[in-house]
């Protein structure tokens, strides 16, 4: 079997990417914009388009900075992996070296060190899905070794695959007069199994040392017995001095958990020559701080974050210690989209849109709590009544001008945050702090308590301290997690959502009138008359005991169904031939209905719906068959709230 045939035989799926013409934002019309018209549908379509375009502009500005930060991570963090591998292989006493990558995940890229005149470095990536047993992991690793060496020596693999074998041989003869060592090795290996003999054969053909780097991706999900057997197989069979092995383990948890799954003799073998490298993105908070500050600066400091929203970010990041950076980007992306989607005043982040200010925006400004507090202060200070009324009624565009002055002011919260961060890093040399946590303490007025963790800050508390202030109209430019909307959108509660959907099927199914056509009249009548059977069964489930008698359950289910109306619809559907049955099936149904009374027909129909609903409940995990051998009872799996 040649390389191409083996590769085709190992494929588990094929990916088809359709060619879709990319649409430009400039060509969008308001019908294609997913944002809706606010102000009870009275917002002009041009303003909806303005919000949509401004959101995209800020989104791309933010992600251009995020891409730079991610590129820095690739350069600083992932770039250290080849150096660690090269150093470990050169300094290890034996033939085996282990590298533990802490905080790595499936997306971590492991690159081989640069080749030289004395050695070849080859990376062989192995995943849990490709390694169900020792035979498959061995064949897979040898095939990838063969393919990678082929790519190294012949150039681009796709180009090599497209060439005919005769063309390759002719080009080799023209260039050197004889075939390369790899071609000779490939000819010798043609027809043999992909086992460890391949390494021995390849090493004899090269005058270089061969360094094979086995990269175990997501090693926490591997079958550890297979992993142990593979390590011991390599240790006991490879005797060639020209071959060195490096085991790279991508550990998403920690080393102690990884070691617990292995036998002690295997752990001792792996740790004989080993080193570890921490790839955690949140190490020192460096990259998280950069992403968070770039988000605040994207909109020129116009947007604030509420304490509730910042607390939500901190809580979620504490629960996902190894995925902090992707999680933070995900939360910020969604919050920015949600803000522009639901807030008509978001368009005024771009000050040039103040020209579109009209009467629709005045009512919302007057109702702002911060504006009402400002008016109360004016009344308490006995300000002229004309000034107060001019703001409340926008006389002479007083409120519009006051709102425009707010838009051009510097944001004191973000400004002081940047001042404190720069002072800590540049003047005091303090870098190991979380900017998100610092921002949260600023909003709560407890910044002094946060800074007490560093004694060098005590002498500068006066200039670093910050008292929260109320800024007029700030609620219009603040990201918040109102009513847990962000929590529900990003981290939905599966059980409670499923329970609500089963109790109220209109949450997930459109109203029957929206789908009504002349062809499905009777079907829509049935949908109007009857909820999905599983919804009716679930309502009975909530009231049942932990162990349910199947016959009693069926009887109660049948009694809840409107039998008379259902039978009338069934007969009407048969008469009008709307059941879409095969001729043989239709004859069988007519024979059954003509020879049975209404009670027997309805019992059969209810039984079909009951069995279907119970099976669906088992699939979604709220039923299980009873622990005894009898099938007369089923057991509830109790959920919270049920």
378 falls within a domain: yes
Q: What whole-number distance in Å separates Cα of residue 398 and Cα of residue 387?
A: 9
Q: Is the same domain home to 548 and 631?
A: yes
Residues 6+ apart with CB under 8 A from 614: 537, 623, 634
Q: Is the same domain home to 208 and 272?
A: yes
- Tally: H helices and E strands in the chain: 31, 10
15 falls within a domain: no
Q: Is the same domain home to 229 and 295?
A: no
Q: What whole-number distance in Å separates Cα of residue 298 and Cα of residue 312?
A: 21
19 falls within a domain: no
Q: What whole-number distance in Å separates Cα of residue 590 and Cα of residue 571?
A: 10
For residue 608, is pLDDT > 70?
Answer: yes
For residue 58, is pLDDT > 90?
Answer: yes
Greatest mean pLDDT range, 49-53, 72-76, 138-142, 173-177 = 49-53
Q: Is the same domain home to 303 and 271?
A: no
- The residue with greater pLDDT, 600 or 637, is 600
Q: Is the same domain home to 129 and 52?
A: no
Q: Is the same domain home to 513 and 575?
A: yes
Q: Is the same domain home to 438 and 291?
A: yes
Return the pLDDT at 343. Answer: 92
What is the pTM assigned to this prediction? 0.65
Categorize the per-residue pLDDT at 103 as very low, low, confident or very high, splitting at 50, 70 and 90: confident
For residue 17, is pLDDT > 70?
Answer: no
157 falls within a domain: yes
Other beta carbons within 10 Å of 110: 22
Residue 481 backbone dihedrals phi, psi, to 5 degrees: -105, 65
Contact criterion met (CB below 8 Å) for 71 and 41: no
24 falls within a domain: no
Return the pLDDT at 16. Answer: 67
Average pLDDT, stretch 248-274? Answer: 88
Residue 343 Cα to chain centre, angstroms: 26
Closest-CA residue to 119 (of 90, 77, 95): 90
Contact criterion met (CB below 8 Å) for 281 and 73: yes
Return the pLDDT at 613. Answer: 92
Closest-CA residue to 124 (of 206, 245, 276): 245
Return the pLDDT at 114. Answer: 86
Q: Is the same domain home to 181 and 233?
A: yes
β pairing state of 623-625 and 633-636:
antiparallel
Question: Could you tell me the two tokens for 493?
Answer: 């509660």
Categorize the per-residue pLDDT at 5 as very low, low, confident or very high, splitting at 50, 70 and 90: low
Average pLDDT, stretch 224-241? Answer: 86
Counting residues of the chain whose pLDDT is more than 90, the rounded percentage is 29
Q: What whole-number distance in Å separates Cα of residue 278 and Cα of residue 259?
A: 17
338 falls within a domain: yes
Contact criterion met (CB below 8 Å) for 141 and 126: yes
Q: Is the same domain home to 58 and 140?
A: no
Greatest mean pLDDT range, 272-281, 454-463, 568-577 = 454-463
Q: Is the same domain home to 458 and 552?
A: no
471 falls within a domain: no
Contact criterion met (CB below 8 Å) for 370 and 475: yes
Element at 212 (helix H, strand E): strand 209-216
Q: Is the same domain home to 158 and 214?
A: yes
Domain boundary among 253, 279, 305: 279
- The residue with greater pLDDT, 636 or 154, is 636
For residue 256, is pLDDT > 50?
Answer: yes
- The residue with greater pLDDT, 6 or 445, is 445
Average pLDDT, stretch 277-302? Answer: 80
**Average predicted confidence (pLDDT) for the chain:** 81
pLDDT digits (tens, 9 = 90+) for 407-453: 888 888 989 999 999 999 999 998 889 999 999 999 999 999 999 99
Average pLDDT, stretch 534-549? Answer: 89
Domain boundary among 279, 299, 333: 279
Q: What whole-number distance in Å separates Cα of residue 333 and Cα of residue 346?
A: 15
Contact criterion met (CB below 8 Å) for 251 and 106: no
β pairing state of 209-216 and 119-126:
parallel
Q: What whole-number distance in Å separates Cα of residue 241 and Cα of residue 200?
A: 10
DSSP string, 503-518: H-GGGTS--GGGG--S
> What is the length of the chain?
642
Helix (H, G, I), strand (E, B) or coil at 491: coil
Average pLDDT, stretch 110-125? Answer: 87
Q: Is the same domain home to 224 and 311?
A: no
Give the total number of structural domains in the chain: 3
pLDDT digits (tens, 9 = 90+) for 158-208: 444 444 333 333 334 333 444 444 444 444 444 445 567 777 777 777 678
Residue 534 backbone dihedrals phi, psi, to 5 degrees: -65, -30
DSSP string, 58-92: HHHHHHHHHHHHHHHHIIIIITHHHHHHHHHHHH-
Categorize the per-residue pLDDT at 292 as very low, low, confident or very high, splitting at 50, 70 and 90: very high
Of the given ranges (87-96, 182-191, 245-254, 414-423), which has the lowest mean pLDDT?
Answer: 182-191
Q: What is the CATH number of the domain that holds 136?
A: 3.40.50
Categorize the per-residue pLDDT at 553 as very low, low, confident or very high, splitting at 50, 70 and 90: very high
Domain of 192 in residue numbering reads as: 84-279
Q: What whole-number distance in Å separates Cα of residue 557 and Cα of residue 533?
A: 9
Return the pLDDT at 159. Answer: 44
Domain boundary among 279, 295, 319: 279
391 falls within a domain: yes
Average pLDDT, stretch 504-525? Answer: 69
Residues 6+ apart with CB under 8 A from 273: 88, 92, 93, 94, 96, 97, 98
Find the DSSP H helices in 530-624: 533-543, 550-559, 563-575, 583-594, 598-620
Average pLDDT, stretch 330-347? Answer: 93
């Amino acid at each position: 079997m040649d390389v191409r045939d083996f590769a085709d035989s190992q494929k588990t799926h094929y990916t088809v990417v359709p060619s879709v013409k990319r649409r430009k934002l400039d060509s969008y019309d308001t019908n294609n914009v997913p944002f809706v018209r606010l102000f009870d549908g009275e917002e002009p379509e041009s303003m909806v388009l303005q919000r949509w375009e401004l959101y995209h502009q800020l989104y791309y500005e933010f992600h251009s900075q995020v891409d730079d930060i991610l590129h820095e991570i690739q350069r600083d963090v992932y770039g250290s992996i080849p150096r660690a591998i090269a150093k470990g292989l050169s300094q290890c006493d034996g033939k085996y070296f282990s590298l533990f990558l802490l905080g790595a995940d499936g997306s971590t890229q492991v690159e081989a060190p640069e080749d030289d005149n004395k050695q070849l470095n080859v990376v062989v990536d192995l995943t849990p899905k490709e390694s169900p047993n020792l035979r498959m992991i061995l064949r897979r690793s040898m095939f990838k070794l063969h393919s990678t060496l082929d790519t190294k020596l012949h150039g681009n693999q796709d180009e090599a695959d497209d060439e005919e074998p005769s063309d390759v041989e002719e080009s080799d003869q023209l260039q050197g007069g004889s075939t390369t060592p790899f071609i000779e090795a490939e000819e010798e290996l043609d027809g043999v199994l992909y086992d460890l003999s391949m390494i021995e054969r390849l090493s004899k053909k090269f005058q270089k040392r061969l360094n094979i780097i086995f990269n175990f991706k997501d090693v926490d999900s591997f079958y550890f017995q297979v992993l142990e057997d593979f390590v011991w197989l390599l240790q006991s069979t490879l005797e060639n001095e020209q071959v060195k092995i490096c085991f790279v383990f991508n550990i998403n948890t920690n080393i102690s958990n990884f070691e617990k799954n292995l036998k002690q003799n295997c752990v001792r073998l792996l740790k004989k020559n080993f080193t570890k490298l921490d790839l955690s993105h949140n190490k020192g908070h460096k990259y998280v701080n950069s992403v968070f500050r770039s988000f605040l600066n994207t909109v020129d400091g116009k947007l604030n974050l509420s304490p509730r929203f910042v607390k939500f970010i901190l809580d979620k990041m504490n629960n996902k210690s190894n995925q902090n950076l992707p999680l933070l980007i995900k939360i910020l992306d969604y919050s920015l989209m949600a803000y522009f989607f639901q807030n008509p005043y978001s368009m005024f982040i771009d000050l040039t849109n103040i020209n579109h200010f009209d009467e629709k925006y005045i009512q919302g400004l007057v109702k702002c709590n911060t504006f009402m507090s400002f008016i109360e202060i004016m009344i308490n200070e006995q300000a002229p009544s004309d000034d107060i009324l001019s703001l409340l009624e926008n006389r002479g565009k007083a409120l519009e001008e006051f709102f425009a002055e707010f838009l051009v002011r510097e944001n004191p919260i973000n400004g002081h945050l940047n001042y404190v961060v720069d002072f800590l890093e540049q003047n005091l040399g303090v870098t190991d702090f979380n900017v998100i946590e610092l921002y949260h303490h600023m909003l709560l007025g407890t910044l002094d308590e946060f800074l007490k963790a560093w004694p060098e800050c005590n002498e500068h508390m006066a200039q670093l301290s910050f008292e929260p202030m109320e800024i007029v109209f700030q609620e219009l430019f603040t990201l918040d997690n109102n009513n847990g909307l962000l929590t529900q959108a990003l981290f939905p509660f599966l059980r409670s959502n499923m329970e609500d959907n089963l109790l109220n099927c209109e949450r997930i199914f459109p109203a029957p009138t929206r789908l009504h056509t002349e062809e499905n009249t009777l079907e829509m009548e049935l949908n109007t008359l009857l909820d999905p059977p599983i919804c009716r069964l679930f309502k009975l489930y909530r009231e049942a005991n932990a162990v349910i008698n199947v016959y009693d359950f069926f009887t109660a289910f049948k009694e809840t169904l409107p039998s008379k109306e259902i039978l009338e619809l069934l007969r009407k559907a048969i008469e009008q031939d709307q059941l879409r049955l095969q001729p043989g099936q239709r004859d069988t149904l007519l024979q059954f209905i003509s020879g049975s009374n209404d009670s027997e027909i309805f019992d059969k129909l209810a039984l079909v719906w009951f069995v279907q609903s119970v099976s669906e409940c088992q699939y979604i995990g709220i039923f299980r068959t009873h622990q005894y051998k009898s099938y007369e009872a089923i057991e509830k799996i109790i959920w919270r709230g049920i």
